[in-house]
Amino acid sequence: MDVKDLIKKGESETIEFKRKLNDSVYKTLSAFANTDGGILLLGVSNDGKVFGFSGDLDSLARSIRHNLRINPSIKVEEIGGKKVVIIDVSKSPVPISFKGRYYKRVGAQTVEMGWEDLQRFFLQKSGITWDSLPSSATLEDLDEETIRKFVHMARNRLPYINENEDVESILDKLGLLEDGKITNAALLLFGKEPQRYYIQAKVRIGRFKDPITIIDDKEIGGNLFTQVEEVMKVIMSHIGVRYEFEGELRRKEIWDYPLDALREAIINALIHRDYTDPSNVQIKIFDDSIWIWNPGELPPGIVIEDLKKETHPSKLRNPKIAQVFYYAGLIERWGTGTFKIVRLCLENGLPEPEFREEAGGFVVLLRKDIYTEDYLRKLGLNDRQIRAVLYVKKKGRISNKEYQGLFGVSKPTASRELDSLVKKGILKRVGVTGRGTYYMLKGSKVS
C-alpha cells in the first residue's frame, strides 16, 4: 500500500500521521510495538495534508534505536515533491518504553498504560499467568477444611493425593506453591478471606425490576468454591420454579433457567475473569433474563462464534484455577463450557444464550422461557397455536403435516396459523418449501 492509499484510509489503530518529529512520534511508535504494530507517516498532518519531512533519515533511525531499542522499517515516498517518511513498526515480543513510560493503542489514540494495564501487559509478554504468581498471603490464610473437601471431591481425578496429607504437600502437588509461597490461585481457591488481599475478587448480584430499579443487591466474597455456591443460592432465590410429576408421583423441579447452565456460566466468569482488573464479576437478574459480566475480554485468537461450537481452542487466563476446578469435577474438558450452556438452554426450550464482549469484559446473557400458556394467550393466539408452541418447546420442531394431524385441520389452515406464529416472532421456518420444511422456536439452533 503506497502513501496515498494510507492517507486515504485515515488514522486508525494501526495508522498514525505526524507532521513533525517530536516526543509524540516516539510515544506512538512505542504504542504500536506494544499493541499490534502499525505504520506512522512522518510529514503528514492529522487531517491528511502533506507537509513533508526534511530531516536526515540516518539520524532518525539512530534516534529511534536510541530511544526505543527497536529497528523499524523506514522508507521514503514523495508526494508533490515533498518527502513522506513511512515508519513500519512490528509488534514487539518484549515491552517497549519511551522515557520510562509505556504506551498502547486504543482505537486511533496513543494512551499511557496505567498500573493495571502494565501488570497485565508484563504478564502477557512474559508468558506468566497472574494466578501462578506468589501471593503475599501465607498458609495461615488458607482454610484447611476447604482444602480437605476439595481433595475428597477430586479423589477420582487425583488418586495420587492422599486425603490425610498435610496441606503444604497437597498444594505442592497441585502446583500451587511458588518458591515455598502460596500462589494467587491457592489464595482465591482456598483462602479464608481472599478479599483482604484482592478486594476485586467478589461477585456483585442485583435483582432489577427494570434497568434502573434495583430490588435487591448483594456482594458475595469468600473463596471461589464458596462464591459458586452462594451465588447460586442468591440467583435461585430470585427465579421461579414449577413442579411436574413423573411416574410414581415423583416430583420434578422445572426452574426458569437450567441450574447446570447457570452454574457453568458462574464458574466460567470466575475462572476466566481478569483478576488484575479492579472490577467485580457482576450479575443482573431481570424479569426475563440474567446478565453475567466478568472483567477481561476474550483472549486473542478466540471469537464469539467459536464459543458455540462443541469444541474450540481453550486459552486459559487462569490455568491453575481452571485445573483445580477440573480436578474437583466442576468443569469438564476445557473449551466446552460455553457450548454446554448453549446446549442446556436449547434442550430446555429456552432461546439460545448470547455471548458478547462489553465494557472491557465478557457477557453471558441467558433469556427466560417467556412462552408460557398465559403469555401466549395474551398475544392473541388461538388454542391450537398455543398447543403447537408448547409442542415445539417439548419436541424441538413441528411440521405442517404434524400440525394438521395434531389438530385435525386442513393444510391451508395449518399454513396460515404457522405463518402467523412466524410473523409474531415466536417460530421460525426452516427450509423453503416441500416436505423438508419445519418450524422451530426463534433463536433455537438448527440441528
How far is Cα 420 from Cα 322, in angstroms, rounded to an integer? Answer: 47
pLDDT category at 248 given cuts 50, 70, 90 is low
How far is Cα 241 from Cα 254, in angstroms, rounded to an integer? Answer: 5
Helix (H, G, I), strand (E, B) or coil at 68: helix
Quick one: pLDDT at residue 48? Answer: 96
pLDDT category at 292 given cuts 50, 70, 90 is very high
How much of the chain exceeds pLDDT 90, in percent? 77
The residue ranking higher by pLDDT, 122 or 387, is: 387
How far is Cα 152 from Cα 159, in angstroms, rounded to an integer? Answer: 10
Quick one: pLDDT at residue 447? Answer: 52
Helix (H, G, I), strand (E, B) or coil at 217: strand
pLDDT category at 114 given cuts 50, 70, 90 is confident
DSSP 85-144: EEEEEPPPSS--EETTEEEEEETTEEEE--HHHHHHHHHHHHT--GGGSBPS--GGGB-H
Quick one: pLDDT at residue 326? Answer: 95
CA atoms 236, 237, 243, 247: torsion sign: positive
Mean of the per-residue pLDDT values for the chain?
92
φ, ψ for residue 285 (rounded to 5)? Answer: -105, 115
pLDDT for 232 beyond 60: yes
pLDDT for 249 beyond 80: no
Taking the complete model, does pTM exceed 0.75, yes or no? no
- Whole-angstrom CA distances from 253 to 8, 140, 141, 234, 257 are 62, 42, 39, 17, 11
H/E run at residue 171: helix 167-173
Average pLDDT over residues 325-333: 91
pLDDT tens figures, 158-183: 988 988 899 999 999 999 999 899 99
Question: Could you tell me the three cell numbers for 92?
Answer: 514487539
The DSSP letter of residue 317 is: S
pLDDT for 446 beyond 70: no
How far is Cα 348 from Cα 337, in angstroms, rounded to an integer? Answer: 17
Helix (H, G, I), strand (E, B) or coil at 411: helix
Count of other CB atoms within 10 angstroms of residue 301? 8
Helix (H, G, I), strand (E, B) or coil at 379: coil
Question: Could you tell me the three cell numbers for 360?
Answer: 472491557
How far is Cα 148 from Cα 331, in angstroms, rounded to an integer? Answer: 19
Question: Could you tell me the three cell numbers for 326?
Answer: 477440573
Identify any residues that bridge with 84 across adjacent strands, giving them in sequence order. Answer: 77
**259-280: buried (b, 16+ CB within 10 Å) or exposed (e) per residue?**
bebbbbbbbbbbbbbbbbbebb
pLDDT category at 151 given cuts 50, 70, 90 is very high
pLDDT for 141 beyond 70: yes
Decide: 32 and 89 in contact? Cβ < 8 Å. yes
pLDDT tens figures, 197-214: 999 999 999 999 988 899
Question: Could you tell me the three cell numbers for 253?
Answer: 423441579
pLDDT for 130 beyond 80: yes
pLDDT category at 444 given cuts 50, 70, 90 is low
pLDDT tens figures, 82-107: 999 999 999 998 889 999 999 999 99
Quick one: pLDDT at residue 169? Answer: 96
pLDDT category at 111 given cuts 50, 70, 90 is very high
What are the structural domains of the chain? 3-126 (3.30.950.30), 130-196 (no CATH), 204-315+328-367 (3.30.565.60), 373-441 (1.10.10.10)
How far is Cα 276 from Cα 278, in angstroms, rounded to an integer? Answer: 6
pLDDT tens figures, 254-281: 899 999 999 999 999 999 999 999 999 9
How far is Cα 98 from Cα 86, in angstroms, rounded to an integer? Answer: 20
Quick one: pLDDT at residue 1? Answer: 77
